[in-house]
Each structure stands twice: as structure tokens, then as C-alpha cells.
Amino acid sequence: MKLVTFKHDGGIAAGYLDGEDEVVICASGDGAEDAVRDLVARGQDGLDDWAARRGDAPRAALADVELLAPIPEPRRDILCVGKNYYAHAAEFHSSGFDSTAKEEVPSNPVIFTKATTAVVGPEAPVRGSLDPTDTVDYEGELGVVLGRRAFQVDKSAAMDHVLGYVIINDVTSRELQQRHNQWVIGKGLDTFCPMGPWLVTADEVADVDALELETRINGETRQKARLSDLVFDIPTLIATMSATMTLLPGDIIATGTPAGVGIGFKPPKYLKKGDRMDISITGLGVLGNEIA
């Protein structure tokens, strides 16, 4: 199931895609912006409930709605993983911007957070003008959405806690990231976390390691990698984080970005007003946004 939140007929609604061009509307009006988030907390019971509405619920053409992030207002900050592809770890370490560690490839996952207020949906403008240093960079990533409470989960059981997947763009101010050492300020600017176009439930992804991520800037492919290239795979990330803190239904883990980011070029290729970013992941759609 592909879960969506969107604007329609002057209001907010939520539902899921039926085929390629219709949306089944399962929630609308007050509280609809939180409907997917609340559905995730209900797990399979919630998904079954929405699926049962297929025959009777109102519908809208996908072309007639404005997609928002599937979870426009997460309950907690996005949990993000740094330097989690081998080639990108080397790229970032040699860029001169890696002020946080001496290791090129980390021996343990590097975890930081990204503010919920950074979340925007597909085609929403990313306000590059908020970065006073003009060093805006892109990072295409797979987001993992948890559907079950997780505490001290073993790697062997970790995937049982995954409800689905979503594309994330971990937009970053490189100078702010370096200046403050910790990455929250450089990563958490408003609008710097595009997410979407929909949340795809785990049953639609046969092999997450086989997924391929591609990032195009103004039509030029900059990043391309399979999820099998992760330094720390999804079960390891869930086991590591849940070892000491409780993960909640609806928590989102951004799993890291592959090589090909702007600072990997010499000179760096920073984003400017009007630049377009398109990130695709096999079976998860395309997340497109422009710099404003």
C-alpha cells in the first residue's frame, strides 16, 4: 500500500493509491494531516481498516491533488545516519568538512537528528536562502518508518518492526554543518527535509537491499547506489538505536546517502536558486523539489 497525505478541494486529506492515478480518501478535514502517522501507530489493523474502505470511500485523481509529506508532522525528530555508504564515507572524510571523527569509515553508526520542522513534501520549495553561507547540498536517502515500539531489539527481529519506506532528501548547509561540529544546525533548517511522494508499506518491497537509489540534479545523475552498499544495514541500525532508547511507532530513520554529493566535487557543486533535485528509489517513486 502507498500511503499519502495531500491537499484536495481546499483541505487536507489522507489515503492510499489505488493503481497509478487514483487516491482512495480515507480521512479528511480536521486531523487528516496526522492520519497516516496515526495509522502507522495502529499497525496492520490500521492498514486492514483502510484497505477495507476501497469500495466505498471517495476518490480523487492523483493529478488533482497536491501531495504533502506522507507524515507531514512526525512526532519526533528524524533519526539520521551519517557516513553510511563506503564511497560516501571516503568522499566526505576527504572533503575537509568532516569535523566530527578521525575515522574514514565509522566503526559504529554515526547518529544525529533532523528537526520535524524541516519536513516538507514533494514539489515544495526548499528555502536555500535560509543558509547564510550559500553552501546548500543534497543527500538522497532511504527512510525507514517503524510500525512497532522497539526496545533492545535483536538484529534477527529488527525488520519485524518496519512498517514501510519513504524517500528522504537530507538537504544540508555544509558550512553550518562544519562550523557547529554537531550536525543539527547544518541539517535542521526549515524545509531541509523533503519527504515523499508516499510511504510504501514493507510488504511491497521484496528485498530492500536490492533497491537502487538515484539522485539527479537538473537532470544530471549525481548519485547512484544500491542499498546493499550500506556500511550498517537496517537491522543493525534498529538494533543499535534500540539498545539504549525506545523507538516508537512512526519514528523515521534516514539511512544515509551514497557518494556523489556536491562537496565531493572539486570545486564543490553547491545548489543555487532554481536548481531541481529529483531522487528516485526502486518502487518508491520520485521525490522532486527545487531550491528557492
Taking each helix axis from N to C terminus, what angle separates 35-42 and 44-52, rounded to the nearest 10 degrees? 120
Residue 59 has pLDDT above 80, yes or no: yes
199-232 burial by CB neighbour count: b if 16+ within 10 A, else e?
bbbbeebeebeebebbbbbeeeebbebebebbbb
Q: Could you tell me which of 191, 198, 196 has the C-alpha nearest to residue 168?
A: 196
Q: Could you tell me which of 263, 283, 277 has the C-alpha nearest to residue 142?
A: 283
Q: Is the dihedral of CA 82, 84, 85, 89 positive or negative?
A: positive
User: Hey, where are the domains in the chain?
Assistant: 2-67, 78-290
* pLDDT recorded at residue 97: 67
Report helix, strand or coil for 174. Answer: helix
Q: How wide is the angle at C-alpha 83 spanned by C-alphas 173 and 104, nearest 5°?
A: 110
C-alpha grid cell for residue 165?
A: 519506506
Calpha distance 95→73 (Å, rounded): 33
Calpha distance 93→71 (Å, rounded): 33
Per-residue pLDDT of 99-158, as tens digits, reads 666 677 888 999 999 999 999 999 999 999 999 999 999 999 999 999 999 999 999 999
From the candidate CATH numbers 3.40.50.20, 3.40.50.920, 3.10.20.740, 3.90.850.10, the one assigned to the domain spanning 78-290: 3.90.850.10
Q: For residue 85, what pLDDT band results from cuts at 50, 70 and 90?
A: confident
